[in-house]
Amino acid sequence: MFDLEKFDLKLNTDVIGRNFIYAEEVPSTNTELLNESEFYNKHGTVLFAEKQTEGRGRKNRVWYSDDKLNLTFSILITEPKYLQKINILNFVASLALAVSIENLYQLRTELKWPNDILIEGKKVAGILIESTSKGSKISRLVIGMGLNVNQISFQRKFTTEPTSLKKELGHPVEREKTLAEILNNIEEILNTSNKFPEKILEDWKAKCKMIGERITVVSVDVTKHGIFNDIDKNGFLVLRTEDKMETLHSGDVSIL
């Protein structure tokens, strides 16, 4: 059982998570928060669920997470200053997860474009950012995060082998302090991203070990090979192919 008091004691934020909603079960925390509701309208609201019946990952994949063992939650972002620069939010969120895992557990993390968090090449967490618009403007955006904490067996086949904090450390860890640390770091990194977005990208790139490597990028309709040259200021992957530089907006990256 998630102990709200323990969590609250470790939460040091001004805004993120101050409106905290605990749910035993929802279809998906992202879907819930994307819908307007009197409980869910405040910027920084966090919806945490012990169980998701329709948890979603990137590219319409299912996000599998055993009940009550992990962290599955979403953060509502409605402040216009963040909605104007949504590309950076992927980097803010994944960096915050990586920094939190390193600070609390001294595990070395690696970031995989666009937003996976790996330990020893295995996926420990993923992020799904979704939004709704009014006219041409984004009105609500949610940052959904799934972190494998105390789950140790993963039954299905995954494109990247999964792991959890418990698997890597060899002992269970406390979800309450882990969630508080993540939200504390998100708030700090979000604030920095507003003033110095280039600093976020630099910190992110320092944790991305694929830059400079020969890679394959698989997207819906096409597979491309080349050198992972860089991430540009918009957060897109710059791929050096034989004859040119290409800017890719999405895809699954693997080292050749």
Residues that bind ligand BTN (CB under 6 A): 28-30, 52, 55-58, 61, 63, 72-74, 116, 126-128, 144-146
Strand order in the sheet with 110-112: 20-23, 46-49, 71-77, 137-147, 122-134, 116-119, 110-112
26 versus 200: smaller Cβ distance to ligand BTN: 26
Q: What angle do CA 190, 140, 58 make, to 5 degrees?
A: 80
Nearer to ligand BTN, 28 or 163 (CB): 28
Shortest Cβ 145–ligand BTN spacing (Å)? 6
Q: How far apart are CA 210 and CA 149, in angstroms?
A: 25
Mapped onto helix, strand or coil, the DSSP state of residue 2 is coil
Q: How far is the CB of 180 from ligand BTN (least distance, A)?
A: 17
User: CB 7 → ligand BTN: shortest distance, Å?
Assistant: 17
Closest approach of Cβ 147 to ligand BTN, in Å?
8
Rounded to a whole number of angstroms, the minimum distance from the CB of residue 243 to ligand BTN is: 32
Please identify, using beta-carbon distances, which residue of 26 and 99 lies nearer to ligand BTN.
Answer: 26
Which residue from 143, 142, 141, 147 is spatially nearest to 179, judged by alpha carbons? 147
For ligand BTN, the nearest residue by Cβ is 126
Distance of CA 134 to CAs 7, 24, 31, 137, 141, Å?
A: 35, 31, 17, 5, 12
Closest to ligand BTN by CB, 26 vs 248, is: 26
- What is the C-alpha to C-alpha distance for residues 52 and 63, in angstroms, rounded to an integer? 9
If the CB atoms of residues 29 and 178 are measured against ligand BTN, the closer one turns out to be 29
